[in-house]
Structures are given as C-alpha cells and as structure tokens.
Amino acid sequence: MVDPLETLDALLRRHREDSDEPIEVQSVSLKEALRGGDDPLSIVAYLRGLGLAICELDDLLRINEDPDEDELHAFRVQEGIAVSMASDGIWVLYTS
C-alpha cells in the first residue's frame, strides 16, 4: 500500500516556525513558467542556470540532490511540487 501524499496545508503546518502567522504561497503553472511567464522567484531559470533540465514537475525535486543548495527545498504534495526559499520563508507551489 502506498502512503498518500500529504497536502500543501499539512506540509506548511509542519514547516511553520513557532508562529501563527499564515505562510504566503504563490501558485504557478509550470507550463507557464517554462514558457518564460509567471515564475515569481525565477526558480526555473535559476535551476536551468545550474544545468538542470526542467521539463516536468518532478524535475523540480532535483533541487534536493545538490548538497551545496541550502536555500531551496522541494516537496511533492497532492497539489504539485512545493518549493521553499529558506532565508525568506517564501513558498511557491508549481502545478501542472
């Protein structure tokens, strides 16, 4: 039996620091980001600059494979792939 993926809300509750402040999440279509459109943190462009081919949602998880990457972390959730920027506490949800 496969464990169900957690929801974005559950992920955010786990990562919320000792604060009741809501976490702002921007939702982005990966297809739009790949066309050079809406990508508020330019994560796709950044990863491409590192030499990573980003073509589908799961490619964003490759952020986690870089031992030198401390700033960005990616998580698979029911709604897509959630990417956090650690220093700013900013989250982006990439959807298909």
54 lies in a domain?
Answer: yes
Phi and psi angles of residue 71, each rounded to the nearest 5 degrees, phi first = -85, -40
Q: Quick count: other Cβ atoms within 10 Å of Cβ 41?
A: 17
Specify the pLDDT at position 18.
60
The answer to whether position 66 is within a domain reads yes
Taking the alpha carbons of 75, 76, 78, 81 in that order, is the dihedral positive or negative?
A: positive
Q: For residues 70 and 29, what is the distance between their CA atoms, to the nearest angstrom?
A: 24
Query: Does residue 45 lie in a domain region?
Result: yes
Tell which wins on pLDDT, 4 or 74: 74
* Domain residue limits at 69: 8-12+22-95
3 falls within a domain:
no
Tell me whether residue 59 is in a domain. Answer: yes
Q: Indicate whether 8 pLDDT > 90.
A: yes
- When divided into structural domains, the chain yields a total of 1
Residue 17, in any domain of the structure: no
Mean local confidence (pLDDT), 49-68: 93
